[in-house]
Every structure is written in C-alpha cells, then in structure tokens.
Amino acid sequence: MANVKSVAIKGVMPFSILDDAPESLTRFFASFSLPSWGLQIEYGSVDYRENEHGGKTAFYEFHITGQEAFNGEWFYRSLAEMRRQGALISTAIVKDVEIGGAWDAIPDINRAYKQSCKEAVA
C-alpha cells in the first residue's frame, strides 16, 4: 500500500500536450477530474513560444498540488512523460506525510525521464 504524499509541481506545458500522447498520460490527466483524487491541477497564464514550424505554440503555467496515496514510480513516470511531450517542469518536490520529514526533490524524475526516452526509441 502506498503512503500518503504531499506534492508541489510547477512548470509550463504546451496546449497540445495530449496530442499523440500515450494512454498512460491521458489517464494521468483524467485522474485530476475524479472526486476522490486528492491532487489538483491548476492552470495559470499563457505564454506563446516560437516553434519549429515558424509559428508560436501556447504554453500554460500549471501547478499540481495536494495530498494523495499513490505509487511513486507511476507518478514519476507520468511527470517524465509530460516532459517528453514538451512540458518544462521547474519544481518537483514531494513529502511523505505518513513518515514525516522535509520536502525533497522527486528523486526519480530525471532517471524516469531518461528511461521513458529510451523506451520510446526502442
């Protein structure tokens, strides 16, 4: 059984993050609409950034906060997949509520990101 964790994730994501995304990322975003899910996602201001087609892509600020018992590896891989789909994550910290302690950087996000990239190429 997973321990309850508090999370604080901040970054920006392209408006098209779910275009051609794997089903696992779609399910991750869908979880925020469940009434029993203790994490929330909030969106902030929009910034238009140059893209490779000579146009601009809308990037939205996002914040994921709250408390929930979840499988860490699933959550970290979901964040890594967000990065692979173009999100830029500036803050990713977690605190295990059940055992106490300080806020820590999510330990596996870089490893999970590299692993998800390797799997995408394989």
pTM of the model: 0.79
Integer Cα distance of 122 and 109 in angstroms: 20
Place of tokens 């893209």: 51
Specify the CATH number for the domain of residue 65: 3.30.70
For the chain, the average pLDDT equals 84
- Residue range(s) defining the domain that contains residue 33: 4-121
Integer Cα distance of 42 and 55 in angstroms: 26
Element at 83 (helix H, strand E): helix 72-84
For residue range 35-72, list pLDDT tens digits in order. 889 999 999 999 999 999 999 999 999 999 999 998 87
Enumerate residues 6+ apart whose C-beta is below 8 A from 79. Answer: 9, 89, 92, 106, 109, 112, 113
Overall number of domains in the chain: 1
